[in-house]
Amino acid sequence: MIPVLTTDSFPGREVVPLGLVRGSTVRAKHIGSDIVAGLRNLVGGEIKEYAALLAGAREQALDRMVAEAEALGADAVIAVRFETSTIAQAASEILAYGTAVKFA
């Protein structure tokens, strides 16, 4: 896997930008997890079912972004960010995006 950084540059290397790369996924809650999460919400604490769902979604979005960068021949992706948005009441999109770069 190529290096992925949140910084706007790659330390010690000159980079040539190739362009924006992104990866996204849309995930929906499972009815069984939703029931357990609802019960857990009554007593407080981390809702592990949702945390696991979002962690998997972030990894998939990141993998898709890296695949797009590799297809461009990138050596790294810099300025990486994540965003999320609600698509429907029970579904969210996770988006990973950054700048694909070649080392000069």
For residue 54, the domain's CATH number is: 3.30.110.70
Residue-level pLDDT at 82 = 97
Residue 22 lies in a domain: yes
| Phi, psi (deg, nearest 5) at residue 80 | -75, 135
Domain count for the chain: 1
For 28, the domain range is: 15-103
Residue 81 lies in a domain: yes
Q: Is residue 75 a contact partner of residue 98, using CB atoms and an 8 Å limit? A: no
pLDDT < 50 stretches in the chain: none
How many Å apart are CA 18 and CA 29, to the nearest integer?
Answer: 36
Residue-level pLDDT at 53 = 84
How many Å apart are CA 39 and CA 50, to the nearest integer?
Answer: 13
Residue-level pLDDT at 2 = 97
Residue 2 lies in a domain: no
